Structure 1
Amino acid sequence: MRGDSWFSNLCSSALRAKTLTSPSETLTRNGPGEGLVRRLGLFDLILIGIGASIGAGIFVVTGTVARDAGPGVTISFILAGGACVLNALCYAELSSRFPAVVGGAYLYTYVAFNELTAFLVFAQMMLDYHIGAASIARSLASYFVTLLELFPFFKDNIPNWIGHGGKEFFGGVVSINILAPILLALLTIILCRGVGESSVLNACMTGTKVVIVLIVIAVGAFQIDVSNWTPFAPNGFKAIVTGSTVVFFAYVGFDAVANSAEESKRPQKDLPLGILGSLFICAALYIGVCLVITGMVPYKLLGEDAPLAEAFTSKGLKYVSILISFGAVAGLTTTLLVGLYVQSRLYLGLGRDGLLPSIFAKVHPTRHTPIHSQVWVGLVAGILAGLLNVHVLSHILSVGSLIGYSVVAACVVTLRWKDKVTSRGPTRWISKRQEGLICLVTVVCCGFSGGLSYRLNASFIILIVAAVVAVLAIIALLRRQVYADPTGFSCPGVPILPAICIFFNIFLFAQLHYEAWVRFVVLSIISVGIYSFYGQHHANPETSALYIGVCLVITGMVPYKLLSEDAPLAEAFTSKDLKYVSILISFGAVDGLTTTLLVGLYVQLRRIKKSDGTLTGEVVPYNIVPLDTPALTNAIGTFAEHLIDLERNE
């Protein structure tokens, strides 16, 4: 019986969802002295998106893919950029719908589906973030040492274990690197100082990176020989499509903007613009670099390690190669900085919801940043980067990004159902929802089977059949469901566009290394175990929704700078001549503090009582009683004053 009860509790907990139904209900606590602070404007958000997307890869990936796709690599980047635009439109709608809560894909999944699915999405994305941060830190250390070696004093005098590679043990699995953890520690300290300082650093480094890329494009444009663009697609269109599946991951990072929701000044307006704006800028830069590199040197002569730098060196422009090294350092710095920033905000969201220990939900009262979460992600990345050769794990990455993008697209569809169909009665809503979910799962299966057949060079008929079945499922979604347009930014073409996103994302998932699939399954099983024994017992999605609703009201009625410290909510209503609401608030404060005090006394007595019923006589450090006793006294006094004023007015 106890086993059945445990399993039923697990199922009920796993299937519950977060109740945030409108943009207004997502405004979190942002008063003076607590919570995150809204300091990021549209320009800052665009820089975050660019900083997260463009790393050193712009100087490397373009050339390596061009070796197979030829000058057609430009089309590869256009196709991949188009696919990312579709995903970005889905992110833009949800960031506009829930504009002021951290969490990104995790939050959207929690609202649209359920708690367990949201936790699984978080786990998959977080593993990518942790390993990715460690890998980027190692690459940054290597590039940094390369810059130092430009000076004669450092050349050939820096040992490998400081920056390059690292001293290896146990067959290369353990690889000691000193510089990578130091760089991570410095960036973590900057992030802990506040979003203002970190955004300034990101702006400077991203600006430097973009300027260097523009210089590379401008200088390279004068070295282009148009004959190098012929033949444009030497290995056919399939090589271009294969190249697009590789360069797709060069755009990954615009979702970081969605995790800046709680620190954006105008989230409902700026988040969609930040997501789409950063993506279009990145696409333009990538395409410009592709045209330059394939026009300067015949694609067959491009190197594998540093193709762009080698192309300029072959033209006698070595100073541009040095600029590229500086650009790589700037690019990796911003990518790492934004990655650490996003991780801490995800941990903050789960800590608030109870799915992780509450220490991750704490925000520094003056720095307005989740220091505990920030230190944790920096520590994890530092250990991985300092001790392990994380580059060997690169083939199991990108799972989290593709899963997150796919689930976000599905969230757009399901939330559109909820908006319109819930009023028709629960029975019909459930049946309609089940029909829609079956259609979405069908699209997922078709995307995976089509991608697998393409990867294995199976009969082209399998891919055609998978595409046809997916189209039929999309038609069923379109014909059998009713969709409502949300307030704010609206993703066009629902459900067709999100379904295409899902198909393409899962198609790419099928192209990943088989060990990435194993990682997906194993991590999912581990995550279910963690949720079963911790998350389900501590999660409380409704509590944060109540806080959010109250904070919406108080920050919407009065400018936050005018809020008092003693009774901000009551005074806000009094300033609007709604004193009867202030009386209700005072009564609620008395009631709430009384119950809190009673529970505190009960718990404290239970803690200091021996098994035989006698008291231990020792003082237990429990803060509820000394904290809430004077607060209750003040609340009773305030309530009495309201009653006296009410009697006088009558």
Structure 2
Amino acid sequence: MKLFRKKSVEELFKKSGDVQLKQTLGAFDLVLLGIGAIIGTGIFILPGTVAASHSGPAIVFSFIIAAIVCAFAGMCYSEFSSSVPVTGSAYTYGYIVFGELVAWIVGWALVLEYGLAVASVSTGWSSYLSALLEGFNITIPKAISGPFNPAEGTYINAPAIAIVLAIAFLLTRGIQGSAKLNKIMVFIKVGVILLFIVVGVFFVKPVNWQPFMPFGISGVMSGAALVFFAYLGFDAVSSAAEEVKNPQRNLPIGIIGSLVICTILYVVVSLVLTGIAPYTQLNVSDPVSFAMQIIHQDWIAGIISLGAVSGMMTVILVMLYGGTRLLYALGRDGLLPKSMCELNNKYKTPVKNTWTFAILTALCAGFIPLSRLAELVNMGTLIAFTIVSIGVIFLRKNKNIPSEGFKVPFFPALPILSFLLCIFLITQLSVFTWIACGVWFIFGLIIYFTYGRKHSLMNKE
């Protein structure tokens, strides 16, 4: 059937040879790219709010459980990305294993994930920037510093739009330059987090850890479902597959390495945070800064705000990058217009698709309150995770794929477990999310059946 026509791996390598991105990234670049994507709003907000309302000090278990689920999916991603080092992430993997229609649905889900992740994080970045500037007695007018809501006197979130467009400009100049900025920002935010840990550990009162599990096991599990989303972003590392030197070795290191480092940081920050202040007091928008103010370390609270601003910039950078490379893959396959995969002669980057994606995302960031839409990010990610997890089983059966590279351990039990855990987390999402995603996917199917199916390169083969 035409709808489920699959790509052969030989064709994929041949096609990627025709339109080639430069291979400039090493294992260290990828680990930092992963940390850049993962550590942002998660570490600066979630440890407090989730501890206060769901897990208590046992939020450390929530982070570990969520990390294990992500690690399972991460291993499946690692096998795919090292076996088939072609840009497009889960979309490309779905094309090889399940065929064109499933690949399009996964690709469309990832467009949603990356786009709304950029929009929501840039909105958060805007509010942290406002708080940071107020420390220097600089105030951004309320009318231009929040999403459209005339009742509250806000009309456009200008800082959110500005940061998305600024980072898009940087990405059009090449991934190597973007990776350098990402490195600097990652070192700043990890430095800020380590400063919080080193100072905060001297103010920890073990009595604040009692009771350690106030909401019981169910609280820990619901907390895990929430903090799972603090790990989103590691899949963007696999989007860089075509720009990686020695992908069989470096991609698994980048994916698993960034997950391990981020888990350690999340757990230690959560322990120190709930040790400084009773968990019941941490339901605030900036719990890490708030904890420093409680122990009268205001100067550190200011530095943490600076770290949050730089930390969120790296998330915007990596998610925007992942989205542009996905559109590039969709354009190269003919499912979207060819302009999506045209490379600039000077910079060898997909400039047109970068600006298209950035402008649409910036408009969302500027005008739409994303408090409810943030959940849509999770749906897009989990759909991709389920496809990649179960897809590894079919990948192993394909004898045309190179046998070297990373292999998922405990096969096939681990990929099946990863698949079931992701399905479970999808069932935890709200009815609103299911309805909104349904509308998004109907729109996507209309595009596929009116444009993509007719223009697909698979028609020529």
TM bucket normalised to smaller: over 0.9
| Cα offset, 1:386, TM superposition | 2.1
| Cα distance, 1:109–1:167 mapped onto 2, change above 3 Å | closer
Structure 1 pair 209/524, CA: closer, same or farther in 2 (3 Å)?
same
Match of 2:56 in 1: 70
Matched, 1:331 2:311: yes
| Matched position secondary structure for 1:29 | helix
CA distance in 2, matches of 1:131, 1:220: 33
Alpha-carbon distance between aligned partners in 2 of 1:173 and 1:380, rounded to the nearest angstrom = 24
Mapping of residues 454-603 of structure 1, within 5 Å: 486-541=403-458
Residue identity in the other structure for 2:449: S
Supply the distance in 2 between the matched residues of 1:167 and 1:82 (Cα, whole angstroms). 39
Letter in 2 for 1:192: T
Q: Is the CA contact 2:4–2:99 (under 8 Å) kept in the aligned structure 1?
A: yes
CA contact (8 A) 2:83 2:402 kept: no
CA drift of 1:497 comes to: 0.6
User: What is the aligned counterpart of 2:182 among 199, 202, 210?
Assistant: 202
What is the alpha-carbon distance in structure 2 between the residues aligned to residue 389 and residue 252 of structure 1? 20
Q: Are 1:59 and 2:59 matched, yes or no?
A: no
Q: Quick one: distance in 2 between partners of 1:87 and 1:226?
A: 35
Q: More relative contact order in 1 or in 2 (CA 8 Å, sep 6+)?
A: 2
Residues 1:82 and 2:68 aligned together: yes
8 Å Cα contact 2:7-2:95 kept in structure 1 = yes
SS state of the match for residue 240, structure 2?
helix
Equivalence map 1:71-150=2 (5 Å):
71-99=57-85, 101-150=86-135
Residue 27 of structure 1, CA deviation:
8.2
1:261 aligned to which of 241, 252, 264: 241
Is the aligned partner of 1:243 residue 2:227?
A: no
Pairwise CA RMSD of aligned residues?
A: 2.1
Larger radius of gyration: 1
- In the superposition, the TM-score normalised over structure 2's length comes to 0.95
Give the one of 127, 141, 155 matched to 1:159. 141
Write the distance in 1 (CA, Å) between the matches of 2:319 and 2:153.
Answer: 24
Q: Which amino acid aligns with 1:77?
A: F
**Residue 113 of structure 1, CA deviation:** 0.4
List aligned pairs for 1:594-613, cutoff 5 A. none
Describe the SS at the equivalent of 1:176.
coil
Deviation at 1:541, TM superposition (A): 4.0
Q: Secondary structure at the match of 2:198?
A: helix
Task: Note the alpha carbon deviations across 1:479-524, whole angstroms, 9 max, x for none.
Answer: xxxxx99421100122211111111111111111111111232222
What is the CA–CA distance in structure 2 between the aligned matches of 1:225 and 1:387, rounded to whole Å?
43
Shift of 1:166: 4.3
Q: Does 1:187 align with 2:167?
A: yes
| Contact persistence 2:189–2:311 (CA under 8 A) | yes
Which range is displaced more, 183-192 or 138-147? Answer: 138-147
**Equivalent residue, structure 2, for 1:168:** 149
1:350 Cα deviation after fit: 0.6
Distance in 2 between residues matched to 1:84 and 1:134, nearest whole Å: 23
Contact 2:69 2:418 in 1 (8 A): yes
Give the length in aligned residue pairs.
460
Query: 1:265: Cα distance to partner?
Result: 1.4
Partners of 2:120 and 2:227 in 1: CA distance: 18
Distance 1:76 1:22, change over 3 A: farther
8 Å CA contact 1:144, 1:329 repeated in 2: yes
- Deviation at residue 311 of structure 1 after TM alignment: 1.3
Q: Deviations over 1:437-476 (max 9, x none)?
A: xxxxxxxxxxxxxxxxxxxxxxxxxxxxxxxxxxxxxxxx
| 1:575 counterpart residue number | none
* Cα deviation digits, residues 278-321 of structure 1 (max 9, x gap): 01011011011011011111212223222221111111111121
Structure 2 distance, partners of 1:40, 1:485, is 21
User: How far does residue 139 in structure 1 lie from its aligned partner after superposition?
Assistant: 1.6
CA distance in structure 1 between the aligned counterparts of 2:47 and 2:244, rounded to whole angstroms:
33
What is the alpha-carbon distance in structure 2 between the residues aligned to residue 206 and residue 541 of structure 1?
41
1:376 matched to 2:353? The reply is no
Change (3 A) 1:394 1:356: same
- Alpha-carbon shift at residue 82 of structure 1 (Å): 0.9
The 8 Å contact of residues 75 and 240 in structure 1, kept in 2 or not, is answered as yes
| CA positional deviation for 1:60 | 1.0
Q: Return the alpha-carbon distance in structure 1 between the equivalents of residues 72 and 403 of structure 2.
A: 18
Q: Deviations over 1:6-42 (max 9, x none)?
A: xxxxxx321101111699x478338xxx631111111
**Aligned match of 1:316:** 296
Return the letter of the residue paired with 1:264.
V
Task: Map 1:210-229 onto structure 2 (within 5 A).
Answer: 210-229=190-209
User: Share of identical aligned residues, percent?
Assistant: 38
1:81 Cα offset (Å): 0.7
Per-residue deviation at 1:419? 3.2
Contact 2:168-2:320 within 8 A present in 1 as well: yes
Gaps spanning 5+ residues in structure 2: where? none
- Contact in 1 for aligned 2:40/2:308 (Cα 8 Å): yes
Task: Confirm or deny: 8 A CA contact 2:47 2:59 kept in the other structure.
Answer: yes
Distance 1:135 1:388, change over 3 A: same
The AA in structure 2 aligned to 1:121 is V
Q: Is the 8 A contact 2:42 2:227 kept in 1?
A: no
The 5 A counterparts of 1:393-472 are: 393-419=373-399
- 1:252 equivalent in alignment to 2:238: no
Instruction: Sort the Cα spacing of 1:166 and 1:490 in 2 relative to 1 into closer, same or farther, 3 A.
Output: closer
1:97 corresponds to which letter in structure 2?
Answer: S
Which residue matches 1:28? 16
Cα offset, 1:175, TM superposition:
3.9
Structure 1 pair 21/245, CA: closer, same or farther in 2 (3 Å)? farther
Q: If the length of structure 1 is used for normalisation, what is the TM-score?
A: 0.68
| Candidates 15, 26, 35, aligned match of 1:41 | 26
* Equivalent-residue separation in structure 1 for 2:222 and 2:324 (angstroms): 34
